[in-house]
Structure 1
Amino acid sequence: MPKMSEMTVQSAKNVAAPDAEDLSLSLDSLNTLEPAHDILRYGYQPLSPFFAPKSVAVIGATERPGSVGRTVLWNLISNSFGGTVFPVHPTRTHVLGIKAYSSITNISEPVDLAVIAIPAQKVPEVIEQCGAAGVKAVIILSAGFREIGAPGLALEAAVLQAARQNHIRVLGPNCLGLMCPNSGLNATFAGAMARPGNVGFISQSGALCTSILDWSLRENVGFSAFISIGSMLDINWGDLIYYLGDDPNTHSIVIYMEAIGDARSFLSAAREVALSKPIIVIKAGRTQVAAQAAASHTGALAGSDEALDAAFKRCGVLRVNTIDELFNLAEVLGKQPRPRGKRLTILTNAGGPGVLATDALIRSGGELAPLSPKTVETLDTILPPHWSRQNPIDILGDATPERYGAVLDVLAEDENSDGLLVILSPQAMTQPLATAEQLQTRASRWTNKPLLASWMGTETVRPGEDQLNQNRIFTLPFPDTAAQIFSLMARHNDNLRSLYETPSLTITTGSKTQSVQSVLSGARQDNRSLLSEWESKQLLQAYGIPTVQTELATSADAAVAIADQIGYPVVLKLHSHTITHKTDVGGVKLNLGDSSAVHRAYEEIATIGQPGDFLGVTVQPMVSRHGYELIIGSHVDEQFGPVLLFGSGGQLVEVYRDRALGLPPLNTTLARRLMEQTQVYQALQGVRGQARVDLDALEALLVRFSQLVVEYPEIKEIEINPLLVSAEQLLALDARVVLHSSAMIEQGLPKPAIRPYPGQYVKSWALRNGLDVTIRPIRPEDEPLMVDFHQTLSEESIYFRYFHLMKLQSRVAHERLTRICFIDYDREMALVAEHVDAQTNKRSILGVARLSRLHGLNAAEFGMLISDRHQGQGLGSEFLTSLLNICNAERIARISATILPENRGMQHLCKKNGFEIVRNFDEVEVYYDF
């Protein structure tokens, strides 16, 4: 295949493009990195050998009762798995009546999956043998790796090296294995096979897997996949989330997690999949004691639980506290739509259960839906006079199935409600089955709202409950649990919706990078990690964050002179490179009204600390504390890198503990959501005569602060406390910055868990007609521009791009454009060509090019779409060259696409740039290997 050096890729910018070059490409998936044309044509999912193997070898198979090797082999041959099973034993010729092999290399037929159940010390050698036999997937059940300390870590390193050299993917070690109940594959040493279903379950604890399995059999819960992930030596959460996201049999994903491992991989996968399939996580280690226990068990370090919460919110994952909630939500989200809001209507035939449900609803953050006057008026005509006349709607203990049905018809028309909970309490005249049938026949009228049911009781209500479950109406035995589940669904939907709200355009004033670099370089030259307050404020000012005027003085007379110039009263603060919390040591003197007070304060501060601690003072005007004191900060989490903090500030910040955490980078929408999680946010909107704070300006400040954090990873900690905010101003009164040590910088600085905006791919360019454009990665705030862009496209361009026609209304729907504009730059890179009209300053997008990584492969697919009026101007050629350069920079090994046969111009352009072309009957595949 053709190879292209970096120099050749760069020089491709000068290649002359054909007239038809700007016709569109398809983005149909080509899951392949293999050179063979048949693999390219038919696609390849790298984890398929784990979940759909045609042959399995059990290395360590034995007939010893109770052994792992015997149990795995028996599970494989006693279920409906239709593939071939090969026992591997060093001395036996047969195991459980099946021909055995002394080594996997002696098996003459291809082996898709090997399950290893031997002592840990022998595993590296066996991995080498698997490589020689052509095995691409291995499950290591063996324990004795990182959980035993340094010797185990060394063994893991040897296993990983052998696996990488032989292109083998590894699940485990120290795991239970995996099941695919729908196909009958049971490659575990569990005592039973899970039921088939639509829930993909992943657990880091093998012991919990067996407990969940027992529970699921009792509760009739089915699984599309049942996976024990173990120590995650190779395959991690992200790999499995991607696979289950693509699996049509999986409707929801539930996870038991002890450590997140590769945070960036998890967040990237979850952000993509959570939009289409709910991901529900129960994470062990909320308390410090439990976190230490989990770390000891898995050999992994536990990170901040609050940071984990922030990460889950940022990627659309729903976190729960109990196993019961975990599977209840997985089932209900698989059966019912997410609620549009948090207002629930409760229909009951008994007052007590309705009150219990209401209490649980309010405690968990939900609301009772108000009944509209029309609804109340209509219900008055069909219900007995003593009905409750409010929500919960108590239709009394003698309610017949027909009364339930009539009320359900009325409630279906009430727009005030976001969901319905129907409660049935078995009384002498109650008919559970007939009432369930009334609910079932009306379920189609609730397609846009979740419909929950609580048939209270046991055997007397069982027929009705079974009827509802068979018709995808989620039932729970207790109404308070049902109400709480609804609130969790509403919270999940609200979080997803807020993640993809279109932010306002973030106009970032160009940061003064030279002044920032000067401050950081000075600190490194002095071999210190603590910046002074004056230096810290220089960083803030460089990013447009307003600070109180701060001047340095190294003598009492100089301090007095500065105070005279600023005007009294003033504040003096200790200037030091070693003492960080000045207030704690008496290094802050407030409200100094004249020169003698300034002179006296200077002399007092000069006595603080040890020799070398005192370097002078800063002199600042005494600012009126009218408004609210906030804190904005960032610290580095062990697992997520930089984490942002926002909340109530001042001297009692640790006492009030009113704060929220978020992951950088932020846009204006994410900044607002961060603020909304705090108690002080209510005050910022104006209370008790206080004017409303300029929240838009505060949003922009948070965005700029997050940019400072991600653009300068040398910063270990940064804090503004207090940030004084009022209707008139935002002002940083104090700041503190701690840098990473020189040793840490040499080892490699922590990276943000979410990749920031890739500004290195922004460049200026001109079309052939001289029109200036900026080619840059897409941003979420580009959504309105993308709506305008789609109005410039012809049907032919749309057909060439998507292989079918698509109405404008569908193309510009918010739900679709979120997929286009809200991207994860680790997973995708979409470039836009933006033109700004010099006279009107109107911005417009002329074309879009997209590069999408293929799941589990070091390969990407690409596509482009260019406005009809700007085709034939060289933009397609420039886009393609830019994508090739990005692949080179990101170390992507293959780029590919599917093109319609009639799109000859694009085929010619790809050929001129070194692409290999494979022609099929109804489409053309193009690919390029670096």
Structure 2
Amino acid sequence: MCAAVASTVHAAPDGDGESRLPLDAIFAPRTVAVIGATDKQGSVGRAVLWNLISNPFGATVYPINAHRPNVLGIKAYPSVAEAPGAVDLAVVATPAPTVPGVIAECVDAGVGGAVIISAGFKEIGAEGARLEREVLEQAARGRMRIIGPNCVGVMRPYSGMNATFAARLARPGSVGFISQSGALCTAILDWSFRENVGFSAFISVGSMLDVGWGDLIDYLGDDPYTKCIVIYMESIGDARSFLSASREVALAKPIVVIKAGRTEAAAKAAASHTGSLTGSDEVLDAAFRRVGVLRVDSISQVFDMAEVLSKQPRPRGPRLAILTNAGGPGVLATDTLIEDGGELAALSPETLAALDGFLPPAWSRGNPIDILGDADPGRYDRALAVTAKDPGIDGLLAILTPQAMTDPTATAELLRQHAKISGKPILASWMGGDAVEAGEQILNRAGIPTYRYPDTAAAAFTMMWRSSYNLQGLYETPNLPADGETAALARDRAEAVVAAARREGRSLLTEAESKRLLAAYGIPTARAIVADSPAAAVAAAGEIGYPVVLKLHSRTITHKTDVGGVQLNLRDADAVRDAYRAIEAAVRRAAAAAPGAFEGVTVQPMIKVEGYELILGSSLDPQFGPVLLFGTGGQLVEVFKDRALGLPPLNTTLARRMIEQTRIHRALRGVRGRRAVDLAALEQLLVRFSRLVIEQPSVREIDINPLLASPEQLIALDARVILHAPGVDLGSLPRPAIRPYPTQYASAWTAEDGTAFTLRPIRPEDEPLLVKFHGTLSERSVSLRYFHAMKYTARVAHERLTRICFIDYDREMALVADRKDPSTGEHEILGVGRLSKVRGTDEAEFALVVSDPYQGLGLGTEFLSRLVRVGREEGIRRIFGDILPENIEMQRICEKLGFKMTHNIQESVIRATLVL
């Protein structure tokens, strides 16, 4: 029994039956009202109106001015309500205090979108912020979407729409450009004419009162004219929305960001400019990596990367082959390549032999491939053709320096046939001035990006690889997580530890409590016995076995070593007694006998195993919520600063990526005769730690330092946990930037024949189970689900299943029926139900399919009823699904659950709809 639509719907029909994308009222309006239109020279209202009427784009334009019968020779209207036709877009250029009233009039008139160019809002302080709140309140009445305020406006060069006060309309092209800085918009526009760069959309977002990064990335992701998205960012705004949209779009369309505020001084300036707080720049880097966004450092790099990523495929690996007619430029490119994290490809014996067959005897016989200064076009052509076939090469860079025998133009003519090498980007550096310009143009027109300097080209390749590497991590199938029952038990045990401290009004866990918290999530810890007297410490040491360690037991002191609270390698009872008294005396001196400063010690075994001291921690970022830290630990952690940041939740793939970013990673793999640490176990430990951070929102900060890693074991030797103060409303804290696994939608269910299932949200690790599931579907079930026959190999392709399993729970919710085979203990998936939100609306589309042997047991009804409940919980107003007429079973299920059935004779489907 199945229900499906033929393709994912991102647009809904409007009143005229025409398919309209979200934000089309702003970017593809049929009627535009310019509120504040005027004849006054030099005014924004005049410039906007002139730009709209002097670049015909198929829409009707109404000047709105209560004091003039016409503006620029066009009949004007006192208000939007008095315009002769319905208005899609209002461009507002009136003083800030008037804008809330203007928006109220627009909502009453049914206007769908507004671009507020007016300044004087939150960037000026409290009064401006109050005006913004009033604007939002009015817009919410009519679900109007707003860009701005304090912006330049928007352009759509392909249609000719110029709803800005900029002097010229941008050239049509494939780059969707979004900027938080209006001044930068106009500067980039001027630069683009000189460099012949074209845009699919040119958007100034201003303060992002309503429409934010996520909305615009989604819109440009659906836009057929946009091949690459470029962003100038000063503040992140809604972090979850940005990351959610970026992850959805970045795989198909590169997203390149230049973020102002990398230094502390610049961050303060950006915050002042936008009226927004700016979080940690290092956290922002981690967030960009998580969703495959490429961050660059300069404006020139932005458009370099936009060009190369839109013209050439992303490399599958970091190995570059360099082909050159001069040694020096090849060495320069190599230096930059290695410094930036790329690799010089090793040529295979077959490639070396093939090149030996036609290159002069003096060629370099290695990479860089120096084909010598007398290389003619044919030599370049043959060398590139041979090198491109080498499977050990991920990309190619052709360098040409103009020498007496060189023909840059003819060489470019021959090389352009290599512009599309499957899976391998090709870049070129034609060095020189006028002599190479014609060749550069030939290569650029063929889709081979050119660079004046070879090191710039090498840097571009490594940035391409970085982008590719981050995207690969999104869709690599991770290893299985912990069993669901074990996970629930861990959560309950950990919450008991935290709740006990909160009942006492404490925000600091003792070391013993901290270790119990870690142990609940399966993180190995050194045994610790609390002792409140020298005699108790001696008894504990005898139980544990010598040598032992004594550490301060305190409810108020966080860093024990700072106050002399640690005594190591104690080998007998006398040493333990002396150490106890020494810790007590040192702490009382340092803490001035503060209550709770000294409550005894914890006695722990002295770990003798040699290994590496690591740190694993988490703290709260004001924009991204919980942030994870992993790196080199010990007392000098701040000195070495060898660390990587990441956003929870993690899976094993993402955990491995964090570990690989650190310098200590190389040592963990085994160096100089040392055995490797169990990296798979370390990945699982990071995954469990990320679950702790997500599932225990009361934890404000947590450090495991050191986490001892050796070939024999992983063990937390010390831990520090700080909770939010008892009076803090946990619901008001920054939420995780990546929505965690929604455990609330998982529960057991028993079918009519007694078969026990767990219905739970899908997870990335389910890919192997889905492969087996598709093998249980008949041709009829497949046709009813997908509206056409689909081969098994196509249904289980890794590229397809990873996107189905690794979903964004904010955008869709997929439930699976998970059954544990009692005879084998192995899990199997026997049904899938999915609820996909329609972007820009409060509607969602459902679809489900059940394994053929398990149809008729009520599983389809249970799936759909649960999807209805999920829809209500997620704030969905209406859910729908299309059903083929012959799918009688699914129709009956929908009717049973109260869906309204509508026959669409034109498309030969039945639309099932339920208003929630």
| TM-score category of the 2 structures, normalised to the smaller one | over 0.9
- Which of the numbers 710, 719, 738 marks the counterpart of 2:722? 738
- Which of the numbers 184, 191, 198 marks the counterpart of 1:215? 191
**Are residue 658 (structure 1) and residue 637 (structure 2) matched?**
no
Q: CA deviation at 1:633?
A: 0.5
User: Quick check: 1:30–1:896 contact (8 Å CA) kept in 2?
Assistant: no
- Which of the numbers 91, 96, 99 marks the counterpart of 1:123? 99
Q: CA deviation at 1:346?
A: 1.4
**Are residue 668 (structure 1) and residue 643 (structure 2) matched?**
no
Aligned to 2:803: 819
Deviations 1:552-579 (A, max 9, x none): 1222222222223222222222111111
Aligned to 1:19: none
Match runs of 1:394-793 below 5 Å:
394-444=370-420, 446-508=421-483, 509-510=486-487, 511-607=489-585, 608=587, 609=591, 610-612=593-595, 613-624=597-608, 626-745=610-729, 748-793=732-777
Structure 1 Cα separation of the partners of residues 575 and 357 of structure 2: 81
Q: CA deviation at 1:120?
A: 0.7
TM-score (norm 2): 0.96
Deviations 1:471-517 (A, max 9, x none): 22222222211111011111111111122111111124334444423
Aligned to 1:25: 4
User: Quick check: 1:57–1:88 contact (8 Å CA) kept in 2?
Assistant: yes
In structure 1, the gaps of 5 or more residues are: 1-21
Deviations 1:615-667 (A, max 9, x none): 22212122225111111110001111000111111111111111111111111
Match runs of 1:153-172 below 5 Å:
153-172=129-148
Aligned to 2:62: 86
Aligned to 2:369: 393
Q: What SS is found at the alignment partner of 2:557?
A: coil
**Are residue 310 (structure 1) and residue 286 (structure 2) matched?**
yes
Q: What SS is found at the alignment partner of 2:201?
A: strand
In structure 2, the gaps of 5 or more residues are: none
Amino acid at match of 2:562: D
User: Quick check: 2:6–2:787 contact (8 Å CA) kept in 1?
Assistant: no
- Which of the numbers 122, 125, 135 marks the counterpart of 1:149? 125
Structure 2 Cα separation of the partners of residues 639 and 148 of structure 1: 22
Q: What SS is found at the alignment partner of 1:170?
A: strand
Structure 1 window deviating more from structure 2 (418-427 vs 712-721): it is 418-427
Q: Compared with structure 1, are the counterparts of its residues 117 and 777 closer, same or farther at alpha carbon in structure 2 (3 Å cutoff)? A: same
Amino acid at match of 2:699: I
CA RMSD, 1 decimal: 1.7
Q: CA deviation at 1:704?
A: 0.9
Q: What SS is found at the alignment partner of 1:825?
A: coil
Q: What SS is found at the alignment partner of 1:297?
A: helix
Q: What SS is found at the alignment partner of 1:614?
A: coil
Structure 1 Cα separation of the partners of residues 873 and 265 of structure 2: 44
Q: What SS is found at the alignment partner of 1:293?
A: helix
TM-score (norm 1): 0.95
Structure 2 Cα separation of the partners of residues 895 and 57 of structure 1: 34
User: Quick check: 1:32–1:857 contact (8 Å CA) kept in 2?
Assistant: no
Q: Compared with structure 1, are the counterparts of its residues 746 and 307 closer, same or farther at alpha carbon in structure 2 (3 Å cutoff)? A: closer
Q: What SS is found at the alignment partner of 2:322?
A: strand
- Which of the numbers 895, 898, 910 marks the counterpart of 2:894? 910
Amino acid at match of 1:797: S
Q: CA deviation at 1:521?
A: 2.2
Q: CA deviation at 1:257?
A: 0.7
Q: Compared with structure 1, are the counterparts of its residues 802 and 42 closer, same or farther at alpha carbon in structure 2 (3 Å cutoff)? A: farther
Structure 1 window deviating more from structure 2 (752-761 vs 385-394): it is 385-394
Aligned to 2:311: 335
Structure 1 Cα separation of the partners of residues 505 and 20 of structure 2: 52
Q: Compared with structure 1, are the counterparts of its residues 747 and 674 closer, same or farther at alpha carbon in structure 2 (3 Å cutoff)? A: closer
Structure 1 Cα separation of the partners of residues 850 and 3 of structure 2: 7
Amino acid at match of 1:309: D
Structure 1 Cα separation of the partners of residues 594 and 295 of structure 2: 51
Structure 2 Cα separation of the partners of residues 518 and 418 of structure 1: 52
**Are residue 139 (structure 1) and residue 115 (structure 2) matched?**
yes
Q: CA deviation at 1:27?
A: 5.6
Q: CA deviation at 1:875?
A: 1.3
Q: CA deviation at 1:891?
A: 1.5
Q: Compared with structure 1, are the counterparts of its residues 775 and 94 closer, same or farther at alpha carbon in structure 2 (3 Å cutoff)? A: same
- Which of the numbers 871, 878, 884 marks the counterpart of 1:894? 878
- Which of the numbers 61, 69, 73 marks the counterpart of 2:49? 73
Deviations 1:131-167 (A, max 9, x none): 1111010011111111111111111111111111122
| More RCO (CA 8 Å, sep 6+) | 1
User: Quick check: 1:26–1:898 contact (8 Å CA) kept in 2?
Assistant: yes
User: Quick check: 2:22–2:219 contact (8 Å CA) kept in 1?
Assistant: no
Q: CA deviation at 1:907?
A: 2.4
Aligned to 2:301: 325
Count, aligned residues: 905
Q: Compared with structure 1, are the counterparts of its residues 693 and 264 closer, same or farther at alpha carbon in structure 2 (3 Å cutoff)? A: same
Structure 1 Cα separation of the partners of residues 902 and 33 of structure 2: 36
Amino acid at match of 1:541: A
- Which of the numbers 848, 854, 860 marks the counterpart of 1:876? 860
Q: CA deviation at 1:441?
A: 2.6
Aligned to 2:824: 840
Q: Compared with structure 1, are the counterparts of its residues 846 and 429 closer, same or farther at alpha carbon in structure 2 (3 Å cutoff)? A: same
Amino acid at match of 2:181: S
Amino acid at match of 1:924: I
Q: CA deviation at 1:56?
A: 0.8
Q: What SS is found at the alignment partner of 2:193?
A: helix
Match runs of 1:87-126 below 5 Å:
87-126=63-102
Q: What SS is found at the alignment partner of 2:760?
A: strand
Aligned to 1:241: 217
Q: What SS is found at the alignment partner of 2:727?
A: helix
Q: CA deviation at 1:463?
A: 2.1
Structure 1 Cα separation of the partners of residues 808 and 328 of structure 2: 48
User: Quick check: 1:453–1:476 contact (8 Å CA) kept in 2?
Assistant: yes
**Are residue 298 (structure 1) and residue 298 (structure 2) matched?**
no
Structure 1 window deviating more from structure 2 (24-33 vs 651-660): it is 24-33
Structure 2 Cα separation of the partners of residues 389 and 132 of structure 1: 75
Structure 1 Cα separation of the partners of residues 361 and 136 of structure 2: 74
User: Quick check: 1:291–1:302 contact (8 Å CA) kept in 2?
Assistant: yes
Structure 2 Cα separation of the partners of residues 58 and 391 of structure 1: 61
Q: CA deviation at 1:111?
A: 0.7
Structure 1 window deviating more from structure 2 (766-775 vs 209-218): it is 766-775
